[in-house]
Structure 1
Amino acid sequence: MKSLGVIVEYNPFHNGHKFHLEQSKKATGADVVIAVMSGQFLQRGEPALVSKWTRTKMALINGIDIVVELPYAFATQKAEVFASGSISILSGMHCETVCFGSEQGNIGDFERTLTIMETKKQEYDLLVQTYSQEGYSFPKASSMAFTEITKNEMVLDLTQPNNILGYHYVKAIRDQNSPLQAFTIERKNAGYHDPDFNTSTIASATSIRKALFNHGGQIENVQQYVPEGTYHFLAHYQRQAGGFHRWEDYFHLLKYRILCSTPSELAAIYEVEEGLEHRLQQTMKESHSFEEFMTKLKTKRYTWTRLQRMCTHLLTNTKKDAMQRITSTKKSEYIRLLGMSKKGQSYLKHIKKDTTLPLLSKVSSLENVMLDMDIRATNTYAMKFPEPARGEWMQLEYSKPPIRYNEEKNIFLN
């Protein structure tokens, strides 16, 4: 079976994702599709709208054959680390192709840009350092350096979020000597971060989440922008969990964490740098909501996303030394299986003996620092719920087997 990999968050799975999936299958001629999907917390440093188990069901019912989890250690990172961990998992599963959405829509542009960047790496690094010392955030300094060294070249627009991720996917493939072949599909209609609905059927995940939160959780407002299966699971999750997840649900925990820690304890957390521990405590004392806290904390030097990821690491008590140790190779240490179709199950049987990474169906089968972060992320995510539901959600991390989906009968078997 010819295999295709996609790297996703599905927060939630919407019509744009459906279009990308269909076009990716056409472009690659794939028989089976593997999704590497972020778990309970996402790359922008925020809790997923619904749990990874519900998003797995959304993926399977909409055409994905295998869903595996991108570990927290990669899922809550900048683009380079996020991409490296994802590519290492697809390579470990003997995936043949990977297809990503981009604003550019031409894979040759990614490959040419990567070659130019490799040639001018020393000049680029020096410029990034210079701009950073002038007080610019790392993403802004990187963008300015890139513009400077490529001003006479035909290259990618690396101000666009999907182009940035795509560039790092292609770079990770080359860095890891992976046999993966990369494809890209041009994104249509809604932009990645568009906050409002612009078309009749295609909308960004950002605008869908905004509509859900700004209108009292009325999911009817998003029905035309998501497939029927997604709509069903959103409605079911809302009833079961009492609502969707957002940062404000965890603000009281973050406040406790920051104000009841010493500055040295805060400084040990991943991404707390350059004396931010003092600013964190002072700002938190003056804030009454997460939105207010972030607005006051934000500076020219630190992007909202960077600070939000830092807050996620504070919430999950993720230490610098642990994160730096386990991500130094930029490769995952295992493959965590979340769900599969019948076709996906056949593919797994075919490759199981040849996988280069341990394939986990339950977390209890491996003791691992990287896996411990995933467990802490789930424990933190479950704090939204009252007891005894909170404990039951935590226990799912150990007790729940991979979800099985019979695509022929359109039923879930567990």
Structure 2
Amino acid sequence: MKAVGVVVEYNPFHNGHLFHLQAAKKKADADIVIAVMSGNFLQRGEPALVSKWYRTKMALLNGVDLVFELPYQFAVQQAETFANGAVSILAAAGCEFLCFGSESGDISSFLETIEYLNGQKEAFAANIKHYIHKGVSYPKALALSYQKLTGSDQFLDLSQPNNILGFQYIKAIKEQKSRMKPLTIKRKNAGYHDEHFSSETIASATSIRKAIFSPEETDISKYVPQPTKQLLAQYYEQYGCFHHWERYWDFLQYRLIQSDPEDLKEIYEAEEGLENRLISAATESNHFHEFMQAIKTKRYTWTRLQRLCVHILTNAKKDRMKPTARASYLRLLGMTTAGQTYLNQMKKNFSLPLVSKASSFKGNEIDLDIKAARIYAMGLPEPYKVQLLKQEFQQPPIYVEQKR
């Protein structure tokens, strides 16, 4: 069976994701789609709207056949580390293709850009260092360095978020010497960060989440498949809320107020000088958004600071967050009938151990996943908190039977 891999968060699964899935399967002429999906905390340093189990079910009901979890150690990270972990999982699971959405839509522009930058490594690194010393954020330094080197429109636009991720996927494929072939699909209509509905049927996950939390009760039905709408309603009915940062603010504030500056220096992504600013802002802020506005600087992006907040919340220290270029296991979250058939045929060839339950595998990476799942559950009121805490150990992979 031929498999195409996708890297996803599905926060939540929407019509743009459905288009990407269908186009990826067609472009690769694949029998099944394998998704590597972030767990309960996401790349931009946010708690997922609903748990990874519900998002897994959304994926399976909308066309994905196998869902593997991207470990916390890779999921809550900058683009390069995120991509390395995702690529290693899809390669280990036997994917022949990796298909990603991009603003470019042209795979040749990615390949040409990577080839060009491979011949300019020293100059590229020197430019990045130069701009960082001038006080700009790392992503901005990266974009400025790239722009200075290329100076023309013939190369990829690396100011666009999905182009950046796609660039890192292909770079990881090459560095890991994977046989996977990269493919890209041009994003339709909505941009990654769009906060408003600008199309009849396609909207960004950002705008959908904004509508969900809006007091005006905006209808999202046109922008998500029916299974997503049903599962979102079911989650709210089961747990009484959706997850967002304000539900974790009390825990983060406590962690900061009770910490010594020296303790915070040990947290992953904390840089010297930030610890006193964080503690001071925590004592003066009434909610998370106010806190973020207080700590935001020109040097540190909102996303970078949100990721740091997640690491503080989970107490992810530098000595434990030492991500390698590759994951060490395949955590199976869910499968369809076709996905199960693929597993039965191919799992003996997987280059990483297959994990069906968290309790059956030991290691630093999965310990971080378990801790993150426990912290995520703390955002729910009782008795739902305990239900979700137990689910991490008790939940077998979700199975969705396909009609023949």
Answer yes or no: same fold by TM over 0.5. Answer: yes
In structure 2, C-alpha distance between the alignment counterparts of 1:89 and 1:254, rounded to whole Å: 31
CA displacement at 1:138 relative to structure 2: 0.5
- Check conservation: 1:74, 1:85, Cα contact below 8 A: yes
In structure 2, C-alpha distance between the alignment counterparts of 1:152 and 1:90, rounded to whole Å: 34
In structure 2, C-alpha distance between the alignment counterparts of 1:367 and 1:22, rounded to whole Å: 36
Relative to 1, partners in 2 of residues 1:153 and 1:117: Cα closer, same or farther, differing over 3 Å? Answer: farther
CA displacement at 1:275 relative to structure 2: 1.5
Match of 2:288 among 287, 290, 293: 290
- The residue matched to 2:241 in structure 1 has which SS? coil
Residue of structure 2 in register with 1:222 after alignment = 220
Output one character per residue of 1:354-374: Cα deviation in whole Å (capped at 9) or x when no partner. Answer: 111110000111111110110
In structure 2, C-alpha distance between the alignment counterparts of 1:128 and 1:153, rounded to whole Å: 20
Residue of structure 1 in register with 2:19 after alignment = 19
Residue of structure 2 in register with 1:398 after alignment = 393
Residue of structure 2 in register with 1:206 after alignment = 206
- Check conservation: 2:241, 2:380, Cα contact below 8 A: no
CA displacement at 1:83 relative to structure 2: 0.3
Q: For this pair of structures, how many residues does the alignment match?
A: 404
In structure 2, C-alpha distance between the alignment counterparts of 1:212 and 1:19, rounded to whole Å: 22
Q: What residue identity is the alignment partner of 1:387?
A: E
Q: Does 1:334 align with 2:318?
A: no
In structure 2, C-alpha distance between the alignment counterparts of 1:292 and 1:82, rounded to whole Å: 28
Q: What residue identity is the alignment partner of 1:310?
A: L
CA displacement at 1:243 relative to structure 2: 1.3
Higher mean C-alpha displacement, 276-285 vs 156-165: 276-285
In structure 1, C-alpha distance between the alignment counterparts of 2:104 and 2:384, rounded to whole Å: 45
Residue of structure 2 in register with 1:126 after alignment = 126
Output one character per residue of 1:6-25: Cα deviation in whole Å (capped at 9) or x when no partner. Answer: 00000000000011111111
Q: What residue identity is the alignment partner of 1:354?
A: N
The aligned runs of 1:11-410 (5 Å cut-off) are 11-152=11-152, 154-215=154-215, 218=217, 221-324=219-322, 327=323, 329-408=324-403
CA displacement at 1:32 relative to structure 2: 0.6
CA displacement at 1:153 relative to structure 2: 6.4
In structure 2, C-alpha distance between the alignment counterparts of 1:387 and 1:185, rounded to whole Å: 43
**TM-score, L = length of structure 1:** 0.96
Q: What residue identity is the alignment partner of 2:104?
A: Q
In structure 1, C-alpha distance between the alignment counterparts of 2:153 and 2:29, rounded to whole Å: 33
Higher mean C-alpha displacement, 390-399 vs 169-178: 390-399
CA displacement at 1:132 relative to structure 2: 0.3
Output one character per residue of 1:302-339: Cα deviation in whole Å (capped at 9) or x when no partner. Answer: 00000000000000000011102xx1x21101000000
In structure 1, C-alpha distance between the alignment counterparts of 2:270 and 2:403, rounded to whole Å: 49
In structure 2, C-alpha distance between the alignment counterparts of 1:261 and 1:213, rounded to whole Å: 32
- The residue matched to 1:322 in structure 2 has which SS? coil
In structure 2, C-alpha distance between the alignment counterparts of 1:77 and 1:403, rounded to whole Å: 26
- The residue matched to 1:340 in structure 2 has which SS? strand
Q: What residue identity is the alignment partner of 1:225?
A: Y
In structure 1, C-alpha distance between the alignment counterparts of 2:381 and 2:37, rounded to whole Å: 27
In structure 2, C-alpha distance between the alignment counterparts of 1:319 and 1:401, rounded to whole Å: 29
- Could you tell me the percent identity over the aligned residues? 53
Q: What residue identity is the alignment partner of 1:59?
A: A
User: Cα RMSD (Å) of the superposition?
Assistant: 1.0
Q: What residue identity is the alignment partner of 1:208?
A: I
CA displacement at 1:388 relative to structure 2: 3.3
CA displacement at 1:152 relative to structure 2: 4.2
CA displacement at 1:127 relative to structure 2: 0.6
Residue of structure 1 in register with 2:6 after alignment = 6
In structure 1, C-alpha distance between the alignment counterparts of 2:157 and 2:68, rounded to whole Å: 30
In structure 1, C-alpha distance between the alignment counterparts of 2:382 and 2:192, rounded to whole Å: 36
CA displacement at 1:158 relative to structure 2: 0.3
Output one character per residue of 1:341-365: Cα deviation in whole Å (capped at 9) or x when no partner. Answer: 0100010111111111110000111
Q: What residue identity is the alignment partner of 1:131?
A: Y
- The residue matched to 2:267 in structure 1 has which SS? coil
Output one character per residue of 1:190-223: Cα deviation in whole Å (capped at 9) or x when no partner. Answer: 001100000111100000000011126x4x6111
In structure 1, C-alpha distance between the alignment counterparts of 2:150 and 2:158, rounded to whole Å: 11
- Check conservation: 1:71, 1:332, Cα contact below 8 A: yes
Output one character per residue of 1:235-259: Cα deviation in whole Å (capped at 9) or x when no partner. Answer: 0001111111000000000000000
In structure 2, C-alpha distance between the alignment counterparts of 1:343 and 1:271, rounded to whole Å: 40
Output one character per residue of 1:141-177: Cα deviation in whole Å (capped at 9) or x when no partner. Answer: 1110000011146110000000000000000000000
- The residue matched to 2:321 in structure 1 has which SS? helix
Output one character per residue of 1:59-111: Cα deviation in whole Å (capped at 9) or x when no partner. Answer: 00000000110001111000000000000000101110010000000101001
**TM-score, L = length of structure 2:** 0.99
- Check conservation: 2:197, 2:207, Cα contact below 8 A: yes
- Check conservation: 1:61, 1:407, Cα contact below 8 A: no
Residue of structure 2 in register with 1:412 after alignment = none
Q: What residue identity is the alignment partner of 1:238?
A: Y
Q: What residue identity is the alignment partner of 2:124?
A: Y
Higher mean C-alpha displacement, 54-63 vs 379-388: 379-388
CA displacement at 1:386 relative to structure 2: 2.8
- The residue matched to 1:353 in structure 2 has which SS? helix
- Check conservation: 1:336, 1:360, Cα contact below 8 A: yes
In structure 2, C-alpha distance between the alignment counterparts of 1:236 and 1:406, rounded to whole Å: 20
**Structure 1: gaps spanning 5 or more residues:** 410-414
In structure 2, C-alpha distance between the alignment counterparts of 1:283 and 1:118, rounded to whole Å: 42
- Check conservation: 2:33, 2:65, Cα contact below 8 A: yes
In structure 2, C-alpha distance between the alignment counterparts of 1:48 and 1:314, rounded to whole Å: 17
